[in-house]
Structure 1
């Protein structure tokens, strides 16, 4: 199975949605708009009444004035006819405006709910769900629902009221002709049910294929430099062509359903109109009906078929929206989150952080990346963790900040299990600096403050401590300089210094460094080492290190191998043991790195 097909299958819903359950849940987003909905219902009822008035006026106009051969005295009826048309136009304008407003208000709530829900998912959720897929949920899928609210869900009620008013008028004026006109309904119901069955899965598949395209595009554009460096343009092009072909074929199946359905509807409606005229011909010969009634019925039949055709057209909107809502609610029902205890305590760090027999695997039954690890991080001490790639070093940071929860054992802060602490308070204890720094679009100042209260004195001190002051002075706009998307206007070293400034402005109790000097030049590394030296003497520091030269002065070094803590001690002491750490040192000597 190809990677694209695997993605497609992961986005598939095994069972068809329970349509009434989806609609009922969607209706919940309209409840806050109940006043607007009542006004909308009133406009729809008025619009339904105005639907039948032109035919009634036509019938009276022809029956009263046709026999006398002139329109003397017809002015009131003619004025009433045009007045009804103008009133109908005004009602339609108000109705569509209110529909659009109600739909946008509902989608505003849904977008906010989706974004807040995403903010609460755990790290593993984002590892398993491509960004493009999530973007599709919040943008395209929500827009599909907006189309349904604006021109489908509520508008169907208006069409139903119009049909009800038209049918009532038909039976009131001539039951026999009304029955002929309504003879269309069984055939329409059969055609609509066949269409619904054929088109439903095609709509869902089209939306899934569209999400796959979005996910692929996001990944390829984000990694375009890597694609070009490795000459992978042709491979990416083939994959994209394949995804587009899959989407094209799914869309064709949808179009085919419509290509059959609409001509069938047109044939049924035309046949019904022919039957109505044929029936009325006999009645005219027998004198049972008047010309005015016949013309009014033909006129009203056109109005009768219009809502039916619109209902069929809105089925497209409804199916697309149901497919989108199916995936949106699947996302909203996701419970991949780090739970917070109802009685969670505020976090405080005064003494120590302790790992107690911690064991962890990223998946149930998967490889244990941390095994029965125990260790203490006393306040004010500098602890460094080293080991081969895959030894489980970075996992310790993920567990400390509760991006994941331990499987066995526990982690405590001043004797309190981190699972019993408030998540926001726990994470505020840490200042995290990663190897790959994420920078938001905006200015340098905004990326340092991250919406925290502005304190110019504190900011000036942070710039001095983080070695970022020189960069700010060189920039023409200083702290107000835009950094570009993902900080593309900054070098890797400048982004790293920005990360330290951001961390220092937070004023954390514990500094977490995860390979913070791995991908930068020697000059910037020297600057960062100066920063670390300045802050590590007053902060508790927990460092994941690859370059052993950067952690020689650590108070204690933990050496990890295959998830286990195999050695601990100072640099000199571990070298003297001639164990795993000493081997790592010798390997780096061989690579030319100074001890």
Structure 2
């Protein structure tokens, strides 16, 4: 599990990269910055007008001027309210627009990463990156940098006006500020640490919940609910503790700010009252200063929190950009079109390792001519499934070459290559949606008639029509409402519909009932006709008619030949066959 370490360095280059996503919305960004300047100028005007009203128009009993300045104040308040609304809306709109674009870019990157990345990265962590972390980047715009700039400009403007009005009264009023600075720093550091703990806890929760909901059947089957629930409670408690620490910091900091504000007001009134009595400070200035102090403390109260928000947004962006910068992707620089592919396959001294030099495939050499059926057998872990994974370029090989029709796989574009390879796995994954959507994978270029024709060809149409709603029957997540055999038959229709030149069947008849196996075998016969096929099977009886059988053991080819040739050889395949025959006899 990836954990965040507390960082104190303000990464300018990272912030600059975040703002590159705002380039398409530069007008909105510039407008929001323009509004920050206007608001900084307008905000101190109202207290000044009140000062003017008290000292000149009320004291001089100039009623006509008093009405006029009151109307101006109301208009100014309305203008400021509208500008603040527009500023808030604009910064949030900008943040959400950037989040939308960034989420698209991250998701696009994730779906193009190779499977090696997913082997070591929990899905729940990627969910956190795509949703929670990117949402935190929105705060960089709505509550982060732009808002901080606006608050800083307002503080500078108010302080400037205060010093111009009476520098001595200003210094007296701001004398408790060192206490506020210390309190703000302590608050910032405390909340910063808490926020890091919260982000780590959220990531851990997402990963745990996603993993255990996916594997809930295993948890229940082994009566592990109490143990797993205890783990969940521990992670959830860590999440709560981190949030409570942040809440405690807020609960302490904000009352301290209010106390400091009260002290500042008290000092101002104490010193200012004497000056008023001595006619050195006007009553209007005193009233205006009360407003100035309230306006000054409002942004100061939130500034430390906004700095933390900005920093957490940058931390989130760092984690998101780490995914975007990941080198765990398949090179898609090939340009050759595979639409005319015939299906001849050649493995030329292929070596492959999932990690470093721990090779799971060692010097694999074989050739499959167009239309041939190649079967691959071997014990679990011998490398059978790995062969089809590298054939699809889900992983990159370290040594050797894989050729399709005499052309290196890397010379084909990935999209073109994979469109000509149909895969039917043992564990078929179906998405939540209709049967029709699962067959077409939401390809709008495929018609209902084409789907029905493909289903009829392999004898699947009648079964689908028996479902409530037929092709519109809603399949639950992972196809849980269908049997394994039914899910495999749907995947056969999908494979046939895309008319691949090469068909890969990964133990497609294992773990199904006899009736389903008969239907599946019929579907296989239809599918492999005139196609190059690679069949992986534990049941040797299902591959006896293969053109060539490859026997794998610990990543190496031990034997190769037809069913009869390998039996006569009396070697590894003969032993596997005899073992299964004895087991079948016992059964």
Same fold (TM > 0.5): yes
Pairing 1:52-131 to 2, within 5 Å after superposition: 52-67=44-59, 73-131=65-123
Aligned residues: 585
Do 2:337 and 2:412's aligned partners in 1 also have CA atoms closer than 8 Å? Answer: yes
SS in 1 for 2:475: coil
Q: Which is worse superposed, 312-321 or 357-366? A: 312-321
Do 1:207 and 1:323's aligned partners in 2 also have CA atoms closer than 8 Å? Answer: no
Do 1:212 and 1:243's aligned partners in 2 also have CA atoms closer than 8 Å? Answer: yes
The partner residue of 1:346 within 323, 337, 341 is 337
Q: Which is worse superposed, 47-56 or 547-556? A: 47-56
In structure 1, how many angstroms separate the alpha carbons of the residues matched to 2:442 and 2:350? Answer: 35
Q: Which residue of 1 aligns with 2:352?
A: 360
Q: How big is the shift at 1:474?
A: 1.3
For residues 74 and 351 of structure 1, do their structure 2 counterparts lie closer, same or farther at Cα, with a shift above 3 Å needed? Answer: closer
For residues 27 and 236 of structure 1, do their structure 2 counterparts lie closer, same or farther at Cα, with a shift above 3 Å needed? Answer: same
Q: Which is worse superposed, 517-526 or 317-326? A: 317-326
Q: Which is worse superposed, 524-533 or 163-172? A: 163-172
Pairing 1:416-427 to 2, within 5 Å after superposition: 416-427=407-418
1:259-313 per-residue CA deviation (whole Å, 9 max, x = no partner) reads 4433443343333333322332342233221011111111111111111112233
SS in 1 for 2:44: helix
The partner residue of 2:498 within 488, 502, 506 is 506
2:443 is equivalent to residue 448 of structure 1: no
In structure 2, how many angstroms separate the alpha carbons of the residues matched to 1:68 and 1:512? Answer: 96
Q: How big is the shift at 1:525?
A: 0.8
In structure 1, how many angstroms separate the alpha carbons of the residues matched to 2:215 and 2:92? Answer: 39
In structure 2, how many angstroms separate the alpha carbons of the residues matched to 1:183 and 1:22? Answer: 37
2:458 is equivalent to residue 488 of structure 1: no
In structure 1, how many angstroms separate the alpha carbons of the residues matched to 2:532 and 2:370? Answer: 5
Pairing 1:137-536 to 2, within 5 Å after superposition: 137-183=129-175, 186-341=178-333, 344-347=335-338, 348-350=340-342, 352-366=344-358, 368-452=359-443, 453-536=445-528
Q: How big is the shift at 1:84?
A: 1.9
For residues 17 and 167 of structure 1, do their structure 2 counterparts lie closer, same or farther at Cα, with a shift above 3 Å needed? Answer: closer
1:423-447 per-residue CA deviation (whole Å, 9 max, x = no partner) reads 2222122100000111111111111
SS in 1 for 2:184: helix
In structure 1, how many angstroms separate the alpha carbons of the residues matched to 2:114 and 2:246? Answer: 37
2:564 is equivalent to residue 572 of structure 1: yes
1:6-34 per-residue CA deviation (whole Å, 9 max, x = no partner) reads x2xx3345966643333222222222211
Do 2:261 and 2:293's aligned partners in 1 also have CA atoms closer than 8 Å? Answer: no
For residues 245 and 456 of structure 1, do their structure 2 counterparts lie closer, same or farther at Cα, with a shift above 3 Å needed? Answer: closer
SS in 2 for 1:445: helix
Q: Which residue of 1 aligns with 2:127?
A: 135
Q: How big is the shift at 1:391?
A: 0.7
SS in 1 for 2:92: helix
SS in 2 for 1:406: coil
Pairing 1:38-49 to 2, within 5 Å after superposition: 38-49=30-41
In structure 1, how many angstroms separate the alpha carbons of the residues matched to 2:460 and 2:218? Answer: 29
**Could you list the runs of 5+ residues in structure 2 that have no partner in the other structure?**
none
SS in 1 for 2:584: coil
Q: Which is worse superposed, 192-201 or 382-391? A: 192-201
Q: How big is the shift at 1:381?
A: 0.3
TM-score by length of 1: 0.93
1:537-587 per-residue CA deviation (whole Å, 9 max, x = no partner) reads 211110111111111110110011111101111112211211111111111
1:62-108 per-residue CA deviation (whole Å, 9 max, x = no partner) reads 11244357956521122222222222222222222222211111111
Do 1:17 and 1:326's aligned partners in 2 also have CA atoms closer than 8 Å? Answer: no
**Could you list the runs of 5+ residues in structure 1 that have no partner in the other structure?**
1-6
In structure 1, how many angstroms separate the alpha carbons of the residues matched to 2:343 and 2:290? Answer: 88
User: How large is the RMSD of aligned CA atoms in angstroms?
Assistant: 2.3
The partner residue of 1:548 within 506, 528, 540 is 540
TM-score by length of 2: 0.94
